[in-house]
Structure 1
């Protein structure tokens, strides 16, 4: 089995990687807002993709907090407002 690394999830410029869970209301709301704004994203469900919960923990002080977004510069933000996402792209 290949070890996943944060670098494997750094997106191309102009897009984001969004770590989610199926039950997360904040995730659903942010996805709707990004869809409405035409923001391209790669969704990764941390309950379905082995090793990704640990990546989220790296960005959140050991907590599996979603939605966590990774930007093309390798930085991350947790549960951002759509305005914050727009500003970062």
Structure 2
């Protein structure tokens, strides 16, 4: 998988309510992001688990190397605004 180093990357699934909420929050914030469906990509599933240390989604990786797992909308907004500063 090749992605822009400045991209926000979100690992999730279509059935995950937290994933749907996080995608909507990123869109409301006007953020472009790369969405990776871990059910369609076994390697991505493994990678998401390696990043988070558990089988939890969404896993959202930011260009600064930090990540959030199952973030609240407030935590996600806070991180995006931090990146913009």
Normalization by structure 2: what TM-score?
0.78
Structure (1/2) with the larger helix percentage = 2
Instruction: After the TM superposition, list the runs of 4 or more consecutive aligned residues in structure 1 that deviate by more than 6 angstroms.
Output: none
User: Does 1:65 pair with 2:56?
Assistant: yes
Residue 12 of structure 1 corresponds to: 5
Q: How many matched pairs? A: 80
CA deviations 1:18-55 (Å, max 9, x no partner) are 00011000110111111111111000011101211111
Cα shift at 1:86: 1.4
Contiguous gaps of at least 5 residues in structure 1: none
Contiguous gaps of at least 5 residues in structure 2: none
Residue in structure 2 matching 1:23, options 15, 20, 41: 15
